[in-house]
Structure 1
C-alpha cells in the first residue's frame, strides 16, 4: 500500500506503535463495501495489550489484525514509519497588529454589603476605569469561572484581588468595535495565543501565534484523516450520500484532527490550549461545511449551493476544540468550489492591491484560480483531481522521505537523474545510494530506506523533462523502444505502449524500479488540461492576454519548478521571471486574518467584489480543455517560454521511434540544481 507501519516490538503486539483504524461502510472510490468481519476478531495479543493500555477508539493493532475481506483502514500519522512531509511555513510580511482578542489585568475591589452590583458588572467597570475600555458584557462560559478566579488571587492591602480578563472584539472598524469578556484568570495572565489553520482535503496545517507580538511560535501539519474515505472531495460527498451517518463521521474526523493539531502546536510551544483565544479556519467549501457540521451534499451537484458564503463565528467548545475561551472564525467563501482558502490566499498575495495583472493558482485536488488586478478580480475552480499529489500515478506517492521530487533527463542519452525528499544529493553524485539507504532525515524514525516513488513536484518535472528530451511527443505519447544504443535502456515496452524507466535501484539493493507509464502521462495531461482550461476561461472573461506575474500557491505550488510547469503548459505563456512560488498562501492569509481585524475586514470586502466563473456550466470549457491536452498547448504560442528553454518542434507520435526533435539548449547549472 506504500504505507509502512511503525513497530519496535517486531510484530508481537506489545508496543502499540502500529495501531490502525478500520472503517465500515461503502466506499465507491475503490468499489469496496467493508463490514466488521473484514478483519480478524480481537486476538489474545490485542486483548493483553488493551489490558495494559487502552487502544484508541475502534483501533486495532496492525501487526495482529488479519485481513479477511476487502477493507479500508486509516493509518494515523503516529503509526506511520515514514510520516508524510507536510511542508507548510508562513511569512506574513509587514502588517499592523490589530488582534481581536486582548488581555486586561484589573484589580477587583473587596466586596462590601453596600455594593449592589454583581461581580460581572464590577469587573466590567474596573476594565473601563483602568483601561478606558467599555465592554458589552461577559459570556456565560467566563461568568461561570468569575467567582473562583477572583477568589483564587491573594488580596492586596485594601482587600482587592487581581484578575486578568480576555476580551473578544467584534466589528469591522476599530473605533466602533464592541467587546465581550470570554475568559477570566486569577492574577496576571500574559499568554494570548491564536491558531490559524488551513484545512485542506489532503493536509491540515496550523500555525500558533502570539497575538500581542505577532510571532509564530509553532507550526505543524498532518494528513487529513478523511483521506481513507475518499481521496478527493467528490468521493467524500459520495460517502456521505451512500452511508447513513457519513456526514457526522467526516465531521468527527476533521474536528478530532483539529483538536489534536492545536494540542500539538501548544505542546511544541510549551503553552496550554486554554491560552488560545482565537482560531481562524480556512479551507475549501466542502471542508468548511463538514467542519461546521453542515451537510456538504448540495455542493456535490449543480448548482453547488453554499449554506452560506459569509464568514461564520462559533465558540471553540462548539467545534470540540480544547480551547474553551477561543472564538473560531471561519473565513468567507467566494463560490461553491472557490472557498475560504482562496480568499485567504488572495489576502496574502494581494492581487487586489496591485495595478499589475496577477494570476494566482492554488493547485490541489481542486485547483482554485484567481486572475486580475486592483481594477477587478475573477475566480474559478477546475477539477484537477489528485494526480498532481501522486494519486492515480503508477509509482506516485505523497511527499514522504524517499519520494522523487526533482528530475533531469539528458536530451542525448535520455539518462535520468533524480533527487529525493530527505537527501540533498542527485542520483548521479557519489554517495547517493548510501545516503538514501541511510536516509536519516527529519520525521524519519527508522533507517529504512530507498527511492520509493514520485511525489507531485517530481511528476511535473519528469513529464516536462521527458518532453524536452524527446521521450514524449507533443500529444503525450512515449517513444516506442528506440532499438540499440543508450536510449534503449530507458524505455520499456508495455505491449501496445511504452514506459520510461526513471530509476532502478543499484544492483543488490532493495526497492522498486520507478517508471512513468503511458497512463501516468495521460493522468497528468487530464489534470493540467483542466487547470489550463480554467485559466484560459478567466483570461477570456477578463479580457487579459497574459498576466504580469504568476503566483503558485499551496504545498504543491511551493515546490514545483516554474519553468517545468510552463513546459507542461500549466499556466500559459508568460515571463518566467514573473513566476514564483508563494508557499502556503492560504495559511499565510489565515495568519494575517488572525493577527489583524483590519486584514480580516479587507478579506471580506475583497471576497464580495470577486466575479465568479463556473467552469462546469461554461460552453467553451470543453473546447479549451481539448486544446490544453497537448504539450505545452495545441494552439497557443510560447515565445516567452522559448527564452528560457529550447522547445522541441511540435510533433505527433503513434508508435514510430524516429520522430526527430531539436536538441534543447543546455539549462544553466543554477536551474539544474
Structure 2
C-alpha cells in the first residue's frame, strides 16, 4: 500500500510503496540534504521535524536530541525510515545548496572592486548593469545572471552542451576536429550559439534589457575554452599537448553574436595548461585552496577528474583519465543522470535495497552517483568483498548477509561469477563487470590523489578539508565515496560538496577585479604533476583497486 511523504516548506510530495529512507525520499522531490558525519550519528546536524504522522525514535535520536526536541517531533534525518503518511520540515541548516549553485551572497561580504569599465556601466539602460557567469562543461552548460553592483544571482539556466553530437568527451571532439576540415568551426558555433541563447534566456527571465548585460565570464577546461573562443583544438590531442593560449582571454561579446551591450566583454578564465583548465582555476578560486592555512584537496569528479592539493604554500595539480563510467558508459544498465536513472541506493538493516531515481520516475538505468552508492552499500552489507568480487548466494549466506538482500542476487547456471548480478527495481541490475569498471575508475582517481600527496609530502590524515566539485559531485554521498575508497577516509565533517565550483569562480571573476587578478595568479603558480610515465603510478593504481583500500 502506498503512502505520501510531504516536505515543507516547499509543500512537495513523494509517494512511496514501501519503507523508504527519508533523505532518499527528499531527493526524489528534488530536495537535497547534508549529512556532515556521513550518517555515522556522530554530529546530530541532520535533524528534521516530523509535524504529522509516526516516526519512531531511535537510540541515536535519544542520544543526540533532548527530550523536549523529541516531543516536538525532531529526529535525525539520516536514521529516519518512513512507512506511513507523514509531513516533514527540513530546516535550512540540513539542506545542501551545492547542486547547480553559483554560490551565495556571502561571497562578496568584503566588498566589491568592479571588474569592468564604469563608462559601460553608466551607459547601460536603466543604470543597473549585469553580467553572466558561465560554466562550460563537456556534457552540460550552466549560466547565471549576476547583478554586478551587488554580486547577487538574479537567475540561472542550464542545458546539454550541443557538442555532444560530435562526441561524448573531449578526446572524441578533438578527433572530430582532426577528421573534418570545418570541425573546429562546427564545434565553435555550437557552443557559442548555446551560450548566446542562455544569455538571452537569462535576460528574459530576469526582466533585464540586453543593453544592461555588459560582461560574460566563462570557465571551462582547455578544450572547451579553445572551442568557445574559436581556436584550433587539434594540438590539444597530440604531443606536446599545447594549445594556442593559457592566459585569460577577453574579446568583444559582439564577435560571438551574443545579444548584449555594444561594448560588452566576453572573458575566459586563465588555464594552467592542457590538463588543468579555467574550470579548475575557477574551482580553486571558489574553494579558497590558494589562501588556506593548512593543506586542502580539491577533487573535480568527472570523465576527466582533476585533483588539486593547495594551501598558502603552493598548488599542485594533476588530471586522471577516469573514463566515461560516471556517465553510464561501459556499465550494463548505465545512463546519464536523466529521469529514471537510479541515483541513490541504500541497503537497509531489514534487507531492503532501496533505490531512488532522478525525477522519481520508474527505474530504467543507473547513473554515476547511483553506481557509487550501490557498490558502497552492497560492500557494506557483505554482498561485495573488499576485492570487488560479487559473492554468490551460498557465499552471502555464509557471510551472514540478510536473506532479503540475498534474494536479489542472480546466478547464471554453469557460468562463472562474472555473469552474476544484483537486481534493483524494475529490470535494472548491477553486474560483477560493473563493479570492476567502478574499481578501475576509482583506482585511477585514488592513484592520482595518492601521488599528489606523496609528491608534496602530505599525509591524507593531515588534510584540513576535501572539496568535491562538479555537477556530478553534487549528488554523491560522502559515506559512499569514502566507503569505496575513492577519496581519503578523513573525518567526514571535513569533506564538503561544493557543486558547481567552476561557475562560482566565474561569478567571482565577473564581479570583482581582485578575484580576476587572483585567478591569473592561481594559473601562473600552480604546478602540474604528470601521471603518464610516473614511476610509481602503476603501483599506486594497483594498490587502490580493492574496495577496502584506504588512502
Q: Distance in 2 between matches of 1:411 and 1:522?
A: 26
Pairwise mapping of residues 488-499 of structure 1 onto structure 2 (< 5 A)? 488-494=406-412, 495-496=415-416, 497-499=418-420
CA contact 2:115–2:509 (8 Å) conserved in 1:
no
Counterpart residue number, 1:625: 541
Counterpart residue number, 1:313: 250
Q: Distance in 2 between matches of 1:613 and 1:526?
A: 21
1:274 is aligned to 2:211: yes
CA contact 2:409–2:423 (8 Å) conserved in 1:
no
**Aligned in 2, Cα 1:364/1:273: closer, same or farther, shift over 3 Å?**
farther
Counterpart residue number, 2:522: 606
**Aligned in 2, Cα 1:281/1:487: closer, same or farther, shift over 3 Å?**
closer
CA contact 2:335–2:367 (8 Å) conserved in 1:
yes
Larger relative CO (CA 8 A, sep 6+): 1 or 2?
A: 2
**Aligned in 2, Cα 1:532/1:241: closer, same or farther, shift over 3 Å?**
same
CA contact 1:192–1:276 (8 Å) conserved in 2:
yes
- What is the TM-score normalised by the length of structure 1? 0.63
Counterpart residue number, 2:422: 501
CA contact 2:155–2:206 (8 Å) conserved in 1:
yes
Q: Distance in 2 between matches of 1:569 and 1:538?
A: 16
Pairwise mapping of residues 549-568 of structure 1 onto structure 2 (< 5 A)? 549-568=465-484
**Aligned in 2, Cα 1:251/1:574: closer, same or farther, shift over 3 Å?**
same
Q: Distance in 1 between matches of 2:232 and 2:512?
A: 31
Counterpart of 1:422 in 2: which secondary structure? helix
1:488 positional shift:
4.2
Pairwise mapping of residues 149-548 of structure 1 onto structure 2 (< 5 A)? 165-166=119-120, 184=123, 189-323=126-260, 324-410=262-348, 413=351, 415-423=352-360, 449-482=361-394, 486-494=404-412, 495-496=415-416, 497-505=418-426, 513-546=427-460, 547-548=463-464
Counterpart residue number, 2:61: none
Q: Which has the larger radius of gyration?
A: 1
Q: Distance in 1 between matches of 2:190 and 2:279?
A: 20
CA contact 1:389–1:556 (8 Å) conserved in 2:
no
- CA offset digits 1:642-662 (Å, max 9, x no partner): xxxxxxxxxxxxxxxxxxxxx
Counterpart of 1:587 in 2: which secondary structure? helix
CA contact 1:367–1:531 (8 Å) conserved in 2:
yes
CA contact 1:416–1:502 (8 Å) conserved in 2:
no
Counterpart residue number, 1:131: none
Q: Distance in 2 between matches of 1:486 and 1:196?
A: 49
**Aligned in 2, Cα 1:578/1:184: closer, same or farther, shift over 3 Å?**
closer
Q: Distance in 2 between matches of 1:87 and 1:412?
A: 31
Counterpart of 2:490 in 1: which secondary structure? coil
Counterpart of 1:619 in 2: which secondary structure? coil
Q: Distance in 2 between matches of 1:632 and 1:235?
A: 34
Counterpart of 2:407 in 1: which secondary structure? helix
CA contact 2:410–2:423 (8 Å) conserved in 1:
no
1:100 positional shift:
2.3
1:471 positional shift:
1.4
- CA offset digits 1:323-364 (Å, max 9, x no partner): 243101111101211100000000110011111210001111
Q: Distance in 2 between matches of 1:581 and 1:603?
A: 21
**RMSD over equivalenced CA pairs, Å:** 2.0
CA contact 2:353–2:405 (8 Å) conserved in 1:
no
Gaps of 5+ in 1: 1-85, 104-164, 168-182, 424-448, 506-512, 638-673
1:306 positional shift:
2.4
- CA offset digits 1:427-462 (Å, max 9, x no partner): xxxxxxxxxxxxxxxxxxxxxx42222222111100
1:322 positional shift:
2.2
Counterpart of 1:355 in 2: which secondary structure? coil
Greater shift, 387-396 or 563-572, is seen at: 387-396
1:242 positional shift:
1.9
Counterpart residue number, 1:98: 113
- CA offset digits 1:193-251 (Å, max 9, x no partner): 10010100011100111111222111111111111221111111111112221111111
1:271 positional shift:
1.7
Counterpart residue number, 1:579: 495
Counterpart of 2:374 in 1: which secondary structure? helix
- CA offset digits 1:481-524 (Å, max 9, x no partner): 4388544421112532244334233xxxxxxx110112211221
CA contact 1:199–1:282 (8 Å) conserved in 2:
yes
- Equivalences, count: 439
Q: Distance in 1 between matches of 2:406 and 2:483?
A: 25
Q: Distance in 2 between matches of 1:522 and 1:235?
A: 24
Q: Distance in 2 between matches of 1:90 and 1:585?
A: 7
Q: Distance in 1 between matches of 2:102 and 2:123?
A: 31
Gaps of 5+ in 2: 1-97, 398-402
Counterpart of 1:408 in 2: which secondary structure? strand
